[in-house]
Amino acid sequence: MSVDNTFESAHFSKMLRTVDVPGGVETVMEGQRAFGLISNAFEQLNGPIVVMGYASQGPAHANNLRTSLREAGSDVPVWVALREGSPSRELAEADGFTEENGTLVTPDVGLKNAGFLAMLMADGSMAGQGEEYLSKMRDGSVLGLAHGYYEGYLESQRRTIKEVAPQLAGVVGVCPKGMGPSVRKLYEQGSGINSSFALSSGDRQRMTDLGLSWSMGIGSPYTFQTTLGKEWRSDIFGERAMLLGGVHGMVEAVYAWKHQKGIGGERAYLESVETLVGPISKTISEEGLTGVFEALGSEKEREEFASAYNATYPVLKHLISKLYSDVSSGREIQEVFDDYSLESPKPQVDGGQMWRDGEKVRASMTDEQRRQIQIEPAVAGMYIAGMMAQVDVLRANGHYWSEVVNESIIEAVDSLNPYMAHKGIAFMVDNCSDTAQRGGRKWAPQFEAWLRQAVLPVVDGGRIKDSQKAGMLLHDDKDYMADFLNHPVHKALETFAKMRPPISISVTG
């Protein structure tokens, strides 16, 4: 399959780069905060930018766009639309979006006036009320989505946005590859989170310019192209897999496994969570996936990595393939919508002993101690095997390299894991969207169980035969490590990782 994921824009021509990826080329817009370029597309619209919803992505988009447009000397207004009684009103007001200055409005006023409406409500609420809201948008206005969930929801009902709102001039998606708080925090720190953009309908050139303007305005250091259909699949899949569910299940399984071996709770936490969100994530971010393997000092450690990798990859490949099928069929989207409608509660994810141990570890650890945490070779092998399984499943389903490496690797190590490092699992999962929170809760236990029952016994040696005896054929004698070391993903990751600005996220507060 040859890869051709290119696009053009005369207005942004100086920012576009077409880069080689394994098997072809992709165009990427580099951000570099050229905010002077962004006002043009918004000024052509016949109304303000209205951000609807103010939970995860809303505050990031509203604040970043407002600041970027001011820096560009533009007077395009940015409004926030919230219903009466929304629990987010206080937060929006604290950020300067108030009724007094005319930038905090009701949904009806926002819908009636918006030239560009960024629909950033909770997914379930979007699915439930989207049709009513879209019908109220003015003729010729443009709908912006920060991910493809709503299109996926309509697709599961065999409908399209164009059918629901034929009066729109276009629909464009700009989808940050990180949680909303990261998008805001990195912007403030002078850096940013990469985004994908996707055109759904409307004039191709005009919507491209608008999407690129939106993406640069929220501070994306670079922007790559996808489709809404690919976006929602990779996004809903990725968060259920290694970004949230998979990594959560993995650290739970590893903690219990260490504990079983007689290792005390706090040390078990260090050797599961801290090694993963610390040196393993940092090394991946800076040196790539093979960099972790190469950083191991001894032959024995490399063997531990390889053995864990080989035990993990084939098992998680099966689970992750099944997960992709559950997502791509539309079932996960329908389930989230039902859960949302039924007000199905989300239990806390950190009630167990390991997260209480984690609190103690974080409270007592000095920066120096944190720097001295080592890479646990088996944990590194398992984690990277999970990432690689995710990469291979996304590639097999036709996702472009830009999306694959961002949804499988970069988002994890640059945006999400730092949140787990800072305050534990809940701080990571529950800063994400409702869809992600529910999906992470559902899938983490399944990753944990597969790892406990079918991977860790193999890592401990000698249980491969039992798995084969059970007729499950999860394992074989293939040397997955050899595939890993020669995998094209490393080239793709290098290409996209080096476009990032040099500042890493610093999570505080």
Q: If you count DSSP H runs as helices and E runs as strands, how many of each does the chain have, helices first?
A: 28, 11
What minimum distance in Å lies between the beta carbon of 329 and a second copy? 7
3-class SS at 389? helix
3-class SS at 205? helix
Stretch that binds a second copy, among 1-9, 192-200, 293-301, 313-321 (CB under 8 A): 313-321
Identified binder of a second copy from the candidate list 118, 207, 241, 444, rule CB under 8 A = 444
What minimum distance in Å lies between the beta carbon of 470 and a second copy? 4
| Residue 399 near a second copy by CB under 8 A | no
Identified binder of a second copy from the candidate list 17, 159, 300, 331, rule CB under 8 A = 331
Q: Which of 443, 474, 462, 466 is nearest to 237 (CA)?
A: 443
What minimum distance in Å lies between the beta carbon of 474 and a second copy? 6
d(CA 228, CA 200): 7
Identified binder of a second copy from the candidate list 445, 490, 500, 501, rule CB under 8 A = 445
CA 46 to chain centre: 32
Residue 422: active-site member: no
| Residue 338 near a second copy by CB under 8 A | yes
| Residue 325 near a second copy by CB under 8 A | yes
Q: Which of 236, 222, 276 is nearest to 402 (CA)?
A: 222
d(CA 504, CA 497): 12
Q: Which of 80, 87, 197 is nearest to 147 (CA)?
A: 197
Enumerate the β-bridge partners of residue 117.
50, 143
What minimum distance in Å lies between the beta carbon of 452 and a second copy? 5
How many CA atoms lie less than 13 Å away from 96 in the CB half-sphere?
A: 7
Task: State the virtual CA torsion across 473, 478, 479, 480 in degrees, nearest 10.
Answer: -50
What minimum distance in Å lies between the beta carbon of 399 and a second copy? 19
Identified binder of a second copy from the candidate list 138, 162, 370, 463, rule CB under 8 A = 463
457 neighbors 146 (Cβ within 8 angstroms):
no
User: What mask, x for binding a second copy by CB under 8 A, covers residues 228 to 267?
Assistant: ----------------------------x--xx-------
* Strand 49-52 with 78-81, pairing: parallel
Stretch that binds a second copy, among 112-120, 166-174, 269-277, 443-451 (CB under 8 A): 443-451
Q: Which is nearer to a second copy, 418 or 440 (CB)?
A: 440
| Residue 350 near a second copy by CB under 8 A | yes
Quick one: DSSP state of residue 138?
P
107 neighbors 83 (Cβ within 8 angstroms):
yes
Q: Which is nearer to a second copy, 287 or 335 (CB)?
A: 335
Binding site for a second copy (CB under 8 A): 256, 259-260, 315, 318, 321-322, 325-326, 329, 331, 334-335, 338-339, 342, 344-353, 426, 430, 441-442, 444-446, 448-450, 452-454, 456-457, 463, 466-467, 470, 472-474
Question: Could you list the active site residues?
Answer: 147
